[in-house]
Amino acid sequence: MILLEGSTAPIYTSPRISSAAGMEASNVLVVLEESERWRSRKARLEKELIELRRRRWTLRAELEKVKRELTAIEEALFEPPETATDTYAFPPFQPGR
């Protein structure tokens, strides 16, 4: 682990870079580029996680809406016939007409 001047975050070096022998300028650049790649990857993954959580919330809300609609349809289909309001009552028969 290496701390650069003015930095409070440690930079983790690759195992192939020996910190005991000191770091050359090219090795420092490699480490800085690698840490920048990890930071950008972390930021991208955090954005994707936020989008996935938002999508999950949207899908849950849609699922609840569909469940309510299915319940309403089932209640309408399996309503007992005596309570059905869509039956037509014929007028009484009157002879002579």
- The pLDDT of residue 5 is 57
* Phi-psi map region of 34: left, alpha, beta (phi>0 left; psi -120 to 50 alpha): alpha
pLDDT tens-digit profile of 40-94?
Answer: 999 999 999 999 999 999 999 999 999 999 999 888 888 766 655 555 666 777 7
- Which phi and psi angles does 86 have, rounded to 5°? -95, 10
Residue ranges covered by each domain of the chain: 25-78
Res. 34 pLDDT band, cuts 50 70 90: very high
Dig out the tokens for 52 from the structure: 């996935």
Q: Report CA-CA distances (Å) from 94 to 87, 88, 90, 91, 97.
A: 21, 18, 12, 9, 7
Residue 88, helix vs strand vs coil = coil
Q: According to the model, what pLDDT value does residue 95 have? A: 76
Specify the length of the chain in residues.
97
Question: Residue 77's pLDDT is what?
Answer: 86
